[in-house]
Homo-oligomer: A and B are copies of this chain.
Amino acid sequence: MLIDGISRKSIESNDNYEVKIIDQTILPHKLEYIDLKNFSDCCKAIKDMWVRGAPLIGVTASYGMFFALKENSSKKNIEYSFKKLLATRPTAVDLKWALENITDVILQINENDRADHVWGIARKLEADSIEQCSKIGDYGLEVIKSRIKNNKTFNILTHCNAGWLACVDWGTALAPIYKAYNSGLDIHVWVDETRPRSQGAALTAWELSKHGVPNTLIVDNAGGHLMQRGEVDICIVGSDRTAANGDVCNKIGTYMKALCAFDNDIPFYVAIPESTIDFKLKSGVNNIKIEERSHNEVTHVRGINEEGKISKVKITPDFVKSHNPGFDVTPARLVTKLITDRGICDPTTDSIRKLFK
């Protein structure tokens, strides 16, 4: 998508084995590119969340495997690097999927050719992700078009960041939005702040604004009121992990937005690439272990201080305890449809299986 008129991607590679990412931890205050030059850069990039979002983590991890094998392509190092990369974000399904994708084939290849082969896999994964997100965008665009009933601005609510910053390009939940905007539709996006990490405020509002898509930031508490007052026409969110029955595990707070949409007869769509579907997981509610994240995310907020520097403030005294579950599960009964790269389907075991058989 565009940054001030110039087309960019969240991870960029070239034929000289160079890989570049955006440090997303300092967005929206600074735009800085970082070169990933070795295995430990890639681990750090994932662990410290310079990159985040399932697809982008998968691609970054694949480049990590390339750098690892460039140094040492032995079976032992493959296993070590696999474990090390997996531990950077233990709950990210795409990470595991991308790494298994590599280890499934790599041992059958001559040790000297392994690094180059993995480079090819990583490059293909990067290109496939763009293609996949673009398709989600195309199918989602049809959904939006079919929901527009009058000449008024069409209002879309989204939670967290499932945009191009989370993928390589286009995004998942934001892909239909970019496609709609690019095709000239009159749309506007309500952006949930998405505490505690505030990816909505920091990333979604930034990337939509930079591309030119009209949007307004709201606190996570406000969406219900807007839906009740008829100011939301559709919700589109992403998914970190989707159970075989259509239950959706996504950023904490998604479940409440789905409940509000349901209570107000507003369609609630979830945009997912195939990789986030966990076909082995029959259902999601109460079956997914939810990651408990650092309490500092709740008690500290990052921003620009009065001197114009990026800094953090602590919002509570040390004696205040906090709890920080990272995700929640939205039951399939609250999801209108899934928007996938293979088309639209119902959030049911049968419908999902039919599309992805």
CA–CA, A226 and B224, complex, Å: 18
CA–CA, A228 and B317, complex, Å: 29
| Nearest CB in chain B to that of A328: its residue | B225
CB distance from A226 to the nearest CB of B (A): 8
Binds B, one of A93-101, A103-111, A167-175, A214-222: A214-222
B298 touches A303 (CB 8 A): no
Select A194's contact among B221, B223, B251, B301, beta carbons within 8 Å: B221
Select A259's contact among B209, B256, B321, beta carbons within 8 Å: B256
Select A304's contact among B220, B256, B260, B313, beta carbons within 8 Å: B313
Select A222's contact among B252, B257, B317, beta carbons within 8 Å: B252
Q: Is A329 an interface residue (CB 8 A)?
A: yes
Mask, A194-215, CB within 8 Å of B = 1, is 1110100110011001000001
| Nearest CB in chain B to that of A219: its residue | B195
B218 touches A298 (CB 8 A): yes
CB distance from A28 to the nearest CB of B (A): 5
Q: Is A112 an interface residue (CB 8 A)?
A: no
CA–CA, A311 and B312, complex, Å: 10
Select A253's contact among B222, B303, B319, beta carbons within 8 Å: B222
A320 touches B209 (CB 8 A): yes
Question: For chain A residues 252-297, which have a beta carbon within 8 Å of chain B?
Answer: 252-253, 255-257, 259-260, 263, 285-286, 290
Of A205, A255, A257, most buried by chain B (CB within 10 Å of CB) is A255
B224 touches A323 (CB 8 A): no
Interface of A is mostly: mixed
Q: Interface size of A by Cβ–Cβ distance < 8 Å?
A: 65
Q: Is A233 an interface residue (CB 8 A)?
A: no
Q: Is A314 an interface residue (CB 8 A)?
A: yes
Select A255's contact among B228, B301, B322, beta carbons within 8 Å: B228
CA–CA, A299 and B263, complex, Å: 29
Mask, A300-334, CB within 8 Å of B = 1, is 11111110000111111101111111011100000
B323 touches A217 (CB 8 A): yes
**Known A215-B321, A219-B324, A220-B220: A316·B205 in contact at CB below 8 Å:** yes
Residues of B within 8 A of A316 (CB): 28, 201-202, 205-206, 217
| Nearest CB in chain B to that of A195: its residue | B219
CB distance from A152 to the nearest CB of B (A): 17
**Known A219-B298, A256-B224: A193·B193 in contact at CB below 8 Å:** no
10 tightest A-B contacts by CB? A221-B253, A303-B313, A225-B328, A224-B256, A195-B219, A217-B322, A303-B315, A301-B301, A221-B252, A224-B255
